[in-house]
């Protein structure tokens, strides 16, 4: 009997963790949805607190397709923001660095040997 009790508890633990994942996804989707009125968001949260399993099921059935769209849009925005941040922080492209070094060479700020070193560094 001990084995089956442990197996039963493990099953309920998996179900509970799955429910928590669904609950957090629903709450995140509620606050990600800008088309939903604040009062409707509050109603959904209240129902999630007092009738959790039924409300989660209804939410997933009624608004599940929109959840996927909003999640995809949020992921794309996060990816775009990350890419623009990396490009901004990474600095100039090698062509920009060589052009800047050529400008310094033309202005007489650096010698031809220093330009060659900067060019090699930019290309490496």
pLDDT reading at 17 higher than 90:
yes
CA distance 64 to 17: 19
Question: In the 8-state DSSP scheme, what is residue 108?
Answer: T
What tens digit of pLDDT does each residue of 97-106 get? 888 888 888 9
Mean pLDDT of the chain: 89
What tens digit of pLDDT does each residue of 85-120 get? 887 777 777 888 888 888 888 988 898 888 898 888
Which pLDDT score, from 0 to 100, does residue 33 have? 87
CA angle 123, 117, 113 (to 5 degrees): 140
Q: Quick check: 98 and 105 in contact, CB under 8 A?
A: no
What tens digit of pLDDT does each residue of 25-42 get? 999 999 888 888 889 999
pTM: 0.60
What tens digit of pLDDT does each residue of 52-61 get? 889 999 998 9
Q: Quick check: 30 and 47 in contact, CB under 8 A?
A: no
The per-residue b/e assignment along 48-86, b for 16 or more CB within 10 angstroms, e otherwise, is: beeeeeebbeebeeebeeebeebeeeeeeeeeeeeeeee
> What are the sequence ranges of the domains in the chain?
2-91, 92-124
């Amino acid at each position: 009997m001990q084995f089956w009790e442990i197996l039963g508890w493990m099953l309920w633990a998996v179900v509970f963790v799955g429910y928590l994942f669904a609950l957090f996804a629903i709450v995140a989707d509620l606050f990600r949805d800008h088309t939903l009125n604040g009062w409707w968001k509050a109603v959904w949260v209240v129902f999630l607190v007092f009738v959790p399993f039924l409300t989660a099921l209804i939410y997933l059935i009624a608004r599940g397709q929109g959840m996927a769209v909003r999640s995809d849009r949020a992921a794309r925005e996060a990816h775009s923001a990350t890419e623009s941040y990396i490009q901004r922080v990474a600095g100039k492209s090698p062509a920009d660095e060589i052009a800047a070094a050529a400008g310094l060479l033309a202005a007489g700020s650096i010698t031809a040997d220093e330009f060659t070193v900067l060019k090699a560094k930019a290309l490496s």
